[in-house]
Structures are given as structure tokens and as C-alpha cells.
Amino acid sequence: MIDTVYVFLGLFMSLLMGLTGMGGGALTTPLLIFLGIPPATAVGSDLAFTSITRGIGSVLHGRKANIDLRLTKLILSGSIPATIASFLLLPYLKAYLGLSGFNSFLTEFLAVILVAVSIIGLSKGLSQRKLRSKKIEPNAITAGEYDTRYDDLSRNNKLLIVVVGAIVGFAVQFTSVGSGTILIFFLMFLFQSKKIIGTDIFHAFILTTLGAFLHFSLGDINPDLVLSLAIGGVPGIFLGVRMHSLISLANLRYLLNIVIMGAGVTLILHAFV
């Protein structure tokens, strides 16, 4: 059954993703939990919803040749094994902690990831301000003025990207958060190219699709919830992309990071108080 509350939630979250390239996954899961959805179901359903919106984004970026396939494979070499390992760990955690304890664990882990993601986002904003103070536009990186080729990456940097991919895979499987914000924060320092955003979105599409299938096998996805989110989410992502150039994003990103941090702190207080 279609629920209009979740339709509008999907519309709002996708609009934020289209506008800023962040915030959707980090806000959708905690909001679903606040609305009474069990944590495991919230994570699995958000992964399925994110897979749909990231799939649309991947097609749009692919048409503009904004995806580096070799870099995507490198990230996936870390994120896919970590995602599968996390999936194999889930039944043992459920058996060991019990359903109530497992839901508490997911909520607390999500809270920590949200606070970490918000700190990373705020740090990225500060680094962009420093670039502006040096009269270097942060968007020059994604515009290709400081273009790094895959072959320019050192062996250590490639290894670091694999490790970061593994961290993202672990975080996404447990919380549905991190496929965008965590990864792109590191990529912007290691791989300065106009293809960063498209590569990040394409990687997120593959990772969240895999995660959604794995959660579906555990019965952690609510099809009606995903459908409701997607009905609002599909037009939301197109609308957000169209509005992207019309709105000043710096303050909006700061506000989103503060809201994400607030959601994380709220979940922590809810878990321990």
C-alpha cells in the first residue's frame, strides 16, 4: 500500500541529493527509524530506495562520460568484499544479541556513522573555504582544471582507496550511510578529476544494489515502503538536479551537516537515556 508520508519523504530526500549530492541516505534511515520502522528494515529499504535514485544518477553521468570505470573497479575491490563479509556477520550478530539487542546495535552504530559523516562534511566545507581564500575555486577540481588520471595514482594511494572502499562497504551494509559522503571526501584529495562525482554515484549504485539484494534475502526490506519512497524519489532527483544551479549550496550543505549531526546525537541520546 502506498503511504503518502513516505512518498513526500522520498521526494524531499531525493531533492536534497539532487541539489547537494549528499544528505539523502544519511537522513532517510534515521527518519524512518524515528517514524517507527525497525532499524534493520529501515536500513534495507533505504538501500533499495538509494539504489533506484543512484541508478538514475549513474545513467545521467554515464551519458556525459563522467565515470572512471578503472577507479570504480578499484573502489569495488574493497567495498564488495567488506559488504559480503558484513552480510555474513549479520545472522551471527542477530543470534548473539537477540532482535532487540541487534536493533539497538544498528541504531547506535548508525548514530556514530552519522556524527562521523557530518564531521567529514563540515571538514570538507572548511577545506573548500581555504581553497577560495587562495583564489582557487573548489569546483575547479570537478571541472577538470586539476585533472588526475588513474595512471597518476601511486601504489600507496591505490591501496588507500581500496581500504576506504572497504570501510564504506562495511558502513553501508550496516547503516545504509557512507556510500557518498565518506568516499567522496577521500577521493577529492586523492583523485582530483571531473569524474569524481559520477564515479562516486556509479559506485554507490552498485554497492547499494548489492546491499539491497543481501538485505532482501534476510527479509529486511519492506516493498511497499520502497515503492512509496521511489514514487516521490524519482521526480525529486530530477527536480534537484535542475535546481542545482539556481541555489547557493554552501550554506545548505552546512545546514545539512548540522542536521545530520543532530540526528546522530539524538539517536545516541535515545539509545542511552
pLDDT tens across 105-134, in order? Answer: 887 887 888 788 778 777 766 666 665 565
Q: Is 153 left (phi over 0), alpha (psi -120 to 50) or beta?
A: beta
pTM of the model: 0.78
pLDDT of residue 105: 82
Number of domains present in the structure of the chain: 1
The grid cell for 159 is: 591501496
Question: Among candidates 231, 183, 186, 174, which has minimal Cα distance to 47?
Answer: 174
Q: Is 80 left (phi over 0), alpha (psi -120 to 50) or beta?
A: alpha
pLDDT of residue 15: 82
pLDDT of residue 135: 54
Domain housing 105? 4-272
pLDDT of residue 103: 78
Q: How far from 45 is each of 49, 211, 225, CA to CA, in Å? A: 6, 10, 7
pLDDT tens string 6-36: 999 999 888 877 766 665 667 788 889 888 8
pLDDT of residue 125: 65
Successive 10-residue mean pLDDT values, the chain, 273 residues: 91 78 71 88 91 87 85 93 92 84 81 80 67 53 52 81 90 77 72 75 91 91 94 86 65 70 75 60
C-alpha angle with apex 53: 233 to 124, nearest 5 degrees? 105
